[in-house]
Chain A
Amino acid sequence: MKKMSSKKRKINAKTESKKTKTWAILLVVFCGFLGAIAQLLLKIGSERINESITSIFNLPLLFGFVFYGLATILFIISLKHGEVTILYPIIATSYVWVSLFSSYFLHENITLAKWGGDLLIILGVSLIGYSSKISSNTGVNK
C-alpha cells in the first residue's frame, strides 16, 4: 500500500512537471515567426548568389542563418517547459507567416488552396494548443 501511494505521488509529480507552460507556447509561436523571417531572408539572399564565390557572403543570407539559429535556440529553451507533442507542432505556424511574407514582400501569388492549407494549419495548431489546457487536468497516466 505504502509503496503504491509513493509511486502514485511520483507519477503525479511527473505529470505536474510535464505541464506545458503558456509562455512556452507563445515562445514557440514567436520561433515560427522568426523562422519565417529566416526563410524570407534566405530567399532574398539566395537570389543574390551569382558566379562569383564571394556572393554567398551577402547580408540577407547571413541574417537568414542567424534568425534560423536564434529560432532553434529559443525553441530548445521552450522545450524545457513543456511537452514536445504540444510544442513541436506549433512550429507549423511558420507556414502561415511564410505565405503572408511571400505575398507581401516578394509579391508571390498565393492561391486560394494555399490560404486554405494555412487555415487548416491554424486550426490544427489551435486544437493542439487547446489540448495543453485540458490534458494537464486528466491525471491518469497511461
Chain B
Amino acid sequence: MITPTSSIIIALICAVLGGFAQILFKKGADNLKFDLSMLKNYPLIFGLGLYGLSAVLFIFALRNGELSTLYPIIATTYIWVNLLAVKFLNERMNIYKLSGTALIIAGVILTSVI
C-alpha cells in the first residue's frame, strides 16, 4: 500500500493544527481556574477544538494511508510546538531542547517505520 500525497498533506495539516493547539493550551492554562470562568477561557476552548479537529482529520488521512508513513509526519508536531512557542510565547530554545527534539523524532521514525 502506497500512501497517497493527499493523506500525507492531511497528516501534515494535523501536525500543524496540533502544534497550535498546544500553544493555545499553554495560553489557556496560564489563566486556568476551575470555576465558571473556564467557559470564557477562549484559548483553552479553541485549543480543545483544534485538538479534536486534528484527531478527526487524522482518521481521514489514515483511511487511505499507512500508519508507518503517517506517524512520523505527526511527530513533526514536536517541531511546530517549538517554533510556535518561540514565536508566540517567547520561550527560548537551547541545544538540549533542539537535540532532544531531533532524537525524539528519530525515535518515532524507528518505532513506526521499521
Which residues of chain A have a CB within 8 Å of any CB of chain B? Answer: 14, 18, 72, 75-77, 79-80, 83-86, 88-89, 92, 95, 99, 111, 113-114, 116-128, 130-131, 134-135, 138, 141-142
Contact = CB atoms under 8 A, between A and B. Distances in A.
- Chief secondary structure at chain A's binding surface: helix
Interface string B76-113: 00100110011001111110110111111011111110
- Chief secondary structure at chain B's binding surface: helix
B111 A83 contact: no
A84 B81 contact: yes
Contacts of A95: 107-108, 111
Contacts, number: 122
Given A85-B93, A85-B97, A124 B22 contact: no
A120 B92 contact: no
Interface of B: 22-23, 25-26, 28-30, 32, 44, 51, 78, 81-82, 85-86, 89-94, 96-97, 99-104, 106-112, 114
A120 B114 contact: no
A125 to B, nearest CB: 7
A128 B97 contact: yes
